[in-house]
Structure 1
Amino acid sequence: MRLRGTDGADPIAVQAALPAALDGTAPLALGFEPGPDDVVPEGTAAVIATSGSTGVPKRVVLSAAALRASAAATAERIGSGRWTLALSAGYVAGLQVLVRAHLAGTEPALLEGRFAPGAFVAATRGLGAGPRYTSLVPAQLATLVDAADEREVRAALASYDAVLIGGQALPPVLRERAAEVGARIVRTYGSSETAGGCVYDGAPLDGVRAEAVDCEIRLTGPMLADGYLGDPGLTARAFAVDADGVRWYRTGDAGTVADGRVAVIGRLDNVIVSGGINVSLDRVERAVRSVPGLEGAVVVAVDDERWGQGSAIVAAGPEAEGEALLAAARDRVAAEVGTVARPSRILMLAEVPLLTSGKPDRRAIAALANAR
């Protein structure tokens, strides 16, 4: 089957094309323009180009059955109702908002223009009666929480039965602040390869199984992607079949699975060697984000003349506050991770570069940190 190119930045176009995609007659290409050789298996609903925030973008093939299974499992866990689309429909989290609304028989509320508190409030007003849901990335949640002194913003955020948060780690401080203003947060874990979040607040959705093999989290269930378009080698490496014939997705994330609960530590490949010692930058970033004023900070690798590699903090805020924040972050990292893991520098920016998905653009951020 041939793909139909659709502008993922236009939610109305994606919504209009969704019924034919979900019945398998007109699969969508999201995030890229399909070529004449881009042919997909019968039953494909969409091929999504990943953000490529830390590596080469991949094109993930998702069947209609996988998207439907994911949406059904979400409804079973949190309920079914009306959805607000605050993310790009060209990414799996945004696409799934439209899928869930479609399968629930409800009309999604769409934000006008760029994400902002006023736009979120206006979209929320248009939802009507019934259970309400939305999906955000942590940066969007932080924007709303920061504006929650305004009564309308606070009321809108608190009106949702569940606010799904995914795309990156949710700082505990931000979750606490969100709860204080009445937001019902559900932390999700998953990826395009799992048709979106498939683990909610550490518990796999119905039909999903998780295990840790050599410290790597693996996932299986009916929402797994078919693989990567045009890359059978990468598909074989990422999707493994065990001795019982069960197909698993190798996430590349380090973590544990105990008593049915999934705990993610960070990316297996997001490690530097500083003075001969391995340092997980994900652990460093979690510690840094627990410092007031650095909740949205990003930690990246930088060259270090003495130790070979080190890390830098990149955050939004006044440059004058940088040294005090760096000192506080170094103390926190030393206590929680170890002295050798302390970041060596901080870069304060007016805005931290983001991808259209709302995630930090880590490649651009690392380039800025190393250039300074």
Structure 2
Amino acid sequence: MVPTAKRELIHAQDQWSIAQLRTALESALSGSGPALGFGEISSANVSSDVAVVVTTSGSTGKAKEIHLSAAAVMASAKAANRYLNAEIGNSWSLLLPLTHIAGINVLVRAIELKSEVKDFRNTNEYAKVDFTAIVPTQLHRALTSESKLLKHLQDATAVLVGGAPLSSDDRNAALARGINIVTTYGMSETSGGCIYNGTPLNGVDVKIIENIIYLRGPMLAEVALEDGWFRTSDMGQLENGKLVISGRSDDQIISGGEKISLSTIERELNENFNSIFIAFAKPDQEWGERLCIATTLELPQDTISHFLKNKFGGHATPKEIHKVDEIPVVGIGKPDRAKIIERLVK
């Protein structure tokens, strides 16, 4: 039965200290205070069992609210701490924005451990902590240019890396430099990461139906379910019991009658050229949709075209390649395809 009673929702303020945020979050989770919203929240009231509200842009770039119960958020935190063998008093550092579930989760995990959170979001001076969480862009910067951040990550017992695909080059480089990275997969609808290093956290179930990933467990938000399962927009497979993500189901285009996964194109380009690419489509009278690529690299079109043709076949040869000054991002560092389309598709 869906709760009909309403609960007040207050918005987390940018000027709040970590201590103030933690107090408000603890009250929201315990039920002794109002629910807490992060980001651009329009709701003033929520269902009585909702403790946390976040916004997510998803794959379309259009923000939507995700309503999470205290039980879901705490189940996620407990499962994460259990996987990491975290103990009461172990500290976390905050390197992610609190407008994203990954940043909020750092606070919740620390609450569960009765431990300290050290806020390093706006500084390049760090202190040693037991655990932290970052996105692949931050890891890449640590490996290539930010030596103090690199030392911070090396000193941590484990570093969660999620929010976007991690290239194999950066993964291998991180391990070689002594960073104990744990790759995470999840989304706001699952209270953040629920698959660590390809393995479901305690209480989480995963299944694959026609290449689509379905998830089930106590960490789910108030979302539509199919026989108790949450249907993601991601494609993948189980290999030796581990989940391997292969792309998204909602980013396929059809060009000349052939299906092309934009995320798969991006992943292969990113890993081969060690940079960030965005693949997108433009309407085309001949092809239906034509594949286009945006990149900050100065690369001959033939270089990209030959690589994709050899990898996927002639239908994956891009019809346009756009050199841009920067790749726009959304959320905690995901390349913003919607913004590129807005700029380049006339």
TM-score by length of 2: 0.89
Rounded to whole Å, the distance in 1 between the matches of 2:115 and 2:246 is 37
Answering whether residue 284 of structure 2 is matched by residue 288 of structure 1, we say: no
Q: CA deviation at 1:102?
A: 1.5
Partner residue of 1:335 out of 310, 316, 326 = 310
SS at match of 1:106: coil
Percent of pairs identical after alignment? 34
User: Do the aligned residues in 1 keep the contact of 2:169 with 2:274 (CA within 8 Å)?
Assistant: no
Rounded to whole Å, the distance in 2 between the matches of 1:312 and 1:184 is 36
Rounded to whole Å, the distance in 2 between the matches of 1:165 and 1:7 is 26
Rounded to whole Å, the distance in 2 between the matches of 1:8 and 1:47 is 16
Rounded to whole Å, the distance in 2 between the matches of 1:252 and 1:53 is 9
Answering whether residue 226 of structure 2 is matched by residue 240 of structure 1, we say: yes
Q: Where does residue 32 of structure 1 map in the other structure?
A: 40
SS at match of 2:179: coil
Partner residue of 2:255 out of 254, 269, 274 = 274
Answering whether residue 56 of structure 2 is matched by residue 50 of structure 1, we say: yes
Rounded to whole Å, the distance in 2 between the matches of 1:92 and 1:343 is 35
Rounded to whole Å, the distance in 1 between the matches of 2:14 and 2:259 is 39
Letter in 2 for 1:19: E
Rounded to whole Å, the distance in 2 between the matches of 1:288 and 1:332 is 8
Matches within 5 A, 1:180-195: 180-195=176-191
Q: Where does residue 116 of structure 1 map in the other structure?
A: none
Letter in 2 for 1:331: H
Q: CA deviation at 1:293?
A: 4.2
Q: Where does residue 280 of structure 2 map in the other structure?
A: 300
Letter in 1 for 2:306: D
Mean Cα displacement is larger for which, 9-18 or 90-99? 9-18
User: Do the aligned residues in 1 keep the contact of 2:61 with 2:330 (CA within 8 Å)?
Assistant: no
SS at match of 2:108: helix
Q: CA deviation at 1:221?
A: 0.9
What RMSD over aligned residues (CA atoms) do the two structures have, in Å? 2.2
Answering whether residue 78 of structure 2 is matched by residue 82 of structure 1, we say: no
Answering whether residue 172 of structure 2 is matched by residue 176 of structure 1, we say: yes
Letter in 2 for 1:322: L
Partner residue of 1:309 out of 269, 283, 289 = 289
Rounded to whole Å, the distance in 1 between the matches of 2:176 and 2:344 is 34
Deviations along 1:95-126, whole A, 9 cap, x unmatched? 0011111211221111253xxxxx34x1x32x
Rounded to whole Å, the distance in 1 between the matches of 2:42 and 2:286 is 47
- Residues 356, 222 of structure 1: alpha-carbon distance in 2 compared, 3 angstrom cutoff: closer
Answering whether residue 69 of structure 2 is matched by residue 63 of structure 1, we say: yes
The count of corresponding residues between Structure 1 and Structure 2 is 335
User: Do the aligned residues in 1 keep the contact of 2:255 with 2:291 (CA within 8 Å)?
Assistant: no
Q: CA deviation at 1:9?
A: 8.2
Q: CA deviation at 1:315?
A: 2.7
Q: Where does residue 219 of structure 1 map in the other structure?
A: 215
Q: Where does residue 264 of structure 1 map in the other structure?
A: 245
Q: CA deviation at 1:304?
A: 4.0
Q: CA deviation at 1:18?
A: 1.1
TM-score by length of 1: 0.83
User: Do the aligned residues in 2 keep the contact of 1:7 with 1:31 (CA within 8 Å)?
Assistant: no
Rounded to whole Å, the distance in 2 between the matches of 1:9 and 1:93 is 19
Q: Where does residue 99 of structure 1 map in the other structure?
A: 108
Q: CA deviation at 1:220?
A: 0.6
Q: CA deviation at 1:163?
A: 1.6
User: Do the aligned residues in 2 keep the contact of 1:11 with 1:88 (CA within 8 Å)?
Assistant: no
Answering whether residue 21 of structure 2 is matched by residue 14 of structure 1, we say: yes
User: Do the aligned residues in 1 keep the contact of 2:136 with 2:162 (CA within 8 Å)?
Assistant: yes
Q: CA deviation at 1:191?
A: 0.6
User: Do the aligned residues in 2 keep the contact of 1:134 with 1:160 (CA within 8 Å)?
Assistant: yes
Unpaired runs of at least 5, structure 2: 1-6
Unpaired runs of at least 5, structure 1: 114-118, 228-234, 242-246
Letter in 2 for 1:301: A
- Residues 189, 35 of structure 1: alpha-carbon distance in 2 compared, 3 angstrom cutoff: closer
Deviations along 1:142-200, whole A, 9 cap, x unmatched? 2221215x4x4432221122221111111212212322332222111111111010001
Partner residue of 2:142 out of 141, 144, 157 = 144
Q: CA deviation at 1:279?
A: 0.7
Rounded to whole Å, the distance in 1 between the matches of 2:340 and 2:138 is 19
User: Do the aligned residues in 2 keep the contact of 1:9 with 1:90 (CA within 8 Å)?
Assistant: no
SS at match of 2:156: coil
- Residues 173, 327 of structure 1: alpha-carbon distance in 2 compared, 3 angstrom cutoff: farther
Answering whether residue 213 of structure 2 is matched by residue 204 of structure 1, we say: no
Letter in 1 for 2:35: P
User: Do the aligned residues in 2 keep the contact of 1:322 with 1:346 (CA within 8 Å)?
Assistant: no
